């Protein structure tokens, strides 16, 4: 179905307040402060982390590991002391993804897993909207993000006020928000979606037209897969919008047998060149199941490293666009989070309550 329109703040004519920075209270007194453990590389650290190094030895050199292992050991011990769980997105670096995370996945898997957490503290290794989603689903738990400046170009592209203006412009048209949005935006929409379930969510509304925000490229991808008319927003992921169809054609010319898989946040000319399109979890499963000889993963770089660590015999061709926001999360900051209980994610309870409805409506959709 062709797109029914694509809107941005300038098309709505309303006075749009500056996008509010993510709210974050400094260091709450939720428990005792711990002292920073020793971060020396010792024979004991080497022994205690040897089994973890086995998981990443294809992608982390023996020269780098002594700098990481003391943090890995300290984080894994303090998680137990704090009764904390670490949720990490597929774009986190291998030493986080494979060595300290308890739960890994795409945005949908992380949201679902967040509903099952029993620990007192959730440490979200990902970006701010992901930590907000965990807090929305766990209002009584402490949710920490190691660096609250870890934003997202999609989440920054739209506010709750923009959604209210869109509703005025298109009365009665249901609104679907990609989870890559602030709690403020989630509170204004009918339902959330992720790249794993976007088409299913849009079709679940049984409406002839749906407003889909904020990713214009994911909106185009959804429009190409459904008969529902899509009204989109002009947001884009700064990582995926940089890939081009020319770049993909060059990979194929260099090796016609290469497999190319892409995330649906990419522009349409990129997706047209791909052998498979799917969320980060679907891309990983595709590589696990097909086991190609050579594959180009058109998404954030760390994901190829994480898959490479698991599947050393698959050759990864890395076009490598880094997400600067995801890369703000480091072992040192995760350790700080555990020691000093920072940085706590705080959401106005009224907004969280409304946002929860949109997120839970998505999670409760039957497959």
Q: Where does this chain bind ligand SF4 (CB under 6 A)?
A: 127, 152-154, 180, 237-239, 265, 300, 323, 325-326
Q: What angle do CA 181, 185, 190 make, to 5 degrees?
A: 105
Residue from 49, 93, 142, 280 in contact with ligand 13P (CB under 6 A):
280
Binding partner at 106 among ligand SF4, ligand 13P, none, C-beta below 5 to 8 Å by kind = ligand 13P
In the chain, the N- to C-terminal Cα span, in Å, equals 23
Residue from 49, 90, 330, 337 in contact with ligand 13P (CB under 6 A):
90
Taking CB under 6 A as the rule, does residue 138 contact ligand 13P? no
Give the nearest distance from C-beta 107 to ligand SF4 in angstroms: 9
CB nearer ligand SF4, residue 189 or residue 323: 323
Interface region with ligand 13P, contact rule CB under 6 A, candidates 15-23, 96-104, 105-113, 339-347: 105-113
H runs (alpha helix) in 58-159: 65-82, 94-97, 107-114, 128-137
CB nearer ligand SF4, residue 68 or residue 150: 150
Taking CB under 6 A as the rule, does residue 182 contact ligand 13P? no
Q: Which residues, 200 to 239, sit near ligand 13P by CB under 6 A?
A: 237
Taking CB under 6 A as the rule, does residue 180 contact ligand 13P? yes
Binding partner at 107 among ligand 13P, ligand SF4, none, C-beta below 5 to 8 Å by kind = ligand 13P
Number of C-beta neighbours around residue 242 at 10 A? 14
Distance of CA 219 to the CA centre of its chain: 17
- The conformation of residue 236, written as its DSSP 8-state character, comes to -
Measured CA to CA, the distance from residue 1 to residue 4 in angstroms comes to 9
CB nearer ligand SF4, residue 195 or residue 308: 195
Taking CB under 6 A as the rule, does residue 106 contact ligand 13P? yes
Contact (CB, 8 A) for 273 and 248 = yes
CB nearer ligand 13P, residue 45 or residue 271: 271
Q: For residue 91, say if its preceding peptide bond is cis, omega within 30 degrees of 0.
A: no
Question: What order of strands is seen across the sheet that includes strand 276-277?
Answer: 276-277, 259-262, 294-298, 315-317
Binding partner at 153 among ligand SF4, ligand 13P, none, C-beta below 5 to 8 Å by kind = ligand SF4
Number of C-beta neighbours around residue 31 at 10 A? 13
Taking CB under 6 A as the rule, does residue 277 contact ligand 13P? no
Contact (CB, 8 A) for 113 and 324 = no
Q: For residue 302, say if its preceding peptide bond is cis, omega within 30 degrees of 0.
A: no
Measured CA to CA, the distance from residue 26 to residue 28 in angstroms comes to 6
Q: Containing H/E element for 40?
A: none
In Å, how far are 65, 74, 139, 277 from 38, measured between CA atoms? Answer: 16, 8, 33, 45
Binding partner at 325 among ligand 13P, ligand SF4, none, C-beta below 5 to 8 Å by kind = ligand SF4
- Can you state the percent helix, strand and coil of the chain, rounding each to 5? 45, 15, 40
Binding partner at 258 among ligand 13P, ligand SF4, none, C-beta below 5 to 8 Å by kind = none
Give the nearest distance from C-beta 197 to ligand 13P in angstroms: 9
Interface region with ligand 13P, contact rule CB under 6 A, candidates 12-20, 162-170, 189-197, 327-335: 189-197
CB nearer ligand 13P, residue 69 or residue 130: 130
Taking CB under 6 A as the rule, does residue 195 contact ligand 13P? yes
Give residues in contact with ligand 13P (CB under 6 A): 90, 106-108, 180, 194-196, 237, 265, 279-280
């Amino acid at each position: 179905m062709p797109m029914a329109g694509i809107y941005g703040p300038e098309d709505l004519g309303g006075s749009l307040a500056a996008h509010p920075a993510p709210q974050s209270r400094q260091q709450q007194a939720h428990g005792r402060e711990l002292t920073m453990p020793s971060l020396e590389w010792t024979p004991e650290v080497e022994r205690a982390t040897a089994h973890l190094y086995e998981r990443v030895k294809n992608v982390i050199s023996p020269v780098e590991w002594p700098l990481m292992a003391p943090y890995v050991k300290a984080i894994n011990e303090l998680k137990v002391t704090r009764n904390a769980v670490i949720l990490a997105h597929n774009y986190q670096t291998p030493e986080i993804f494979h060595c300290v995370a308890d739960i890994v996945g795409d945005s949908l898997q992380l949201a679902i897993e967040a509903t099952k957490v029993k620990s007192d503290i959730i440490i979200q290794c990902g970006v701010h909207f992901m930590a907000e989603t965990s807090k929305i689903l766990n209002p009584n738990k402490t949710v920490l993000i190691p660096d609250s400046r870890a934003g997202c170009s999609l989440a920054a592209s739209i506010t709750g006020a923009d959604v209210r203006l869109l509703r005025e412009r298109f009365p009665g048209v249901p609104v679907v928000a990609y989870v890559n949005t602030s709690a403020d935006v989630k509170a204004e929409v009918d339902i959330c979606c992720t790249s794993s379930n976007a088409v299913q969510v849009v079709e679940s509304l049984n409406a002839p037209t749906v407003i889909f925000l904020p990713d214009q490229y994911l909106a185009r991808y959804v429009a190409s897969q459904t008969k529902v008319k899509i009204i989109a927003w002009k947001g884009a992921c700064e990582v995926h919008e940089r890939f081009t169809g020319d770049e993909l054609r060059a990979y194929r010319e260099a090796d016609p047998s290469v497999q190319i898989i892409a995330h649906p946040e990419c522009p349409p000319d990129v997706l047209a060149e791909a052998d498979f399109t799917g969320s980060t979890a679907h891309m990983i499963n595709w590589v696990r199941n097909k086991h190609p000889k050579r594959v180009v993963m058109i998404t954030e770089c760390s994901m190829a490293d994480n898959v490479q660590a698991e599947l050393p015999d698959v050759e990864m061709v890395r076009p490598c666009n880094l997400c600067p926001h995801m890369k703000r999360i480091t072992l040192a900051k995760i350790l700080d989070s555990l020691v000093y209980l920072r940085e706590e994610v705080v959401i106005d309870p009224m907004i969280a309550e409304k946002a929860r409805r949109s997120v839970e409506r998505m999670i409760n959709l039957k497959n």
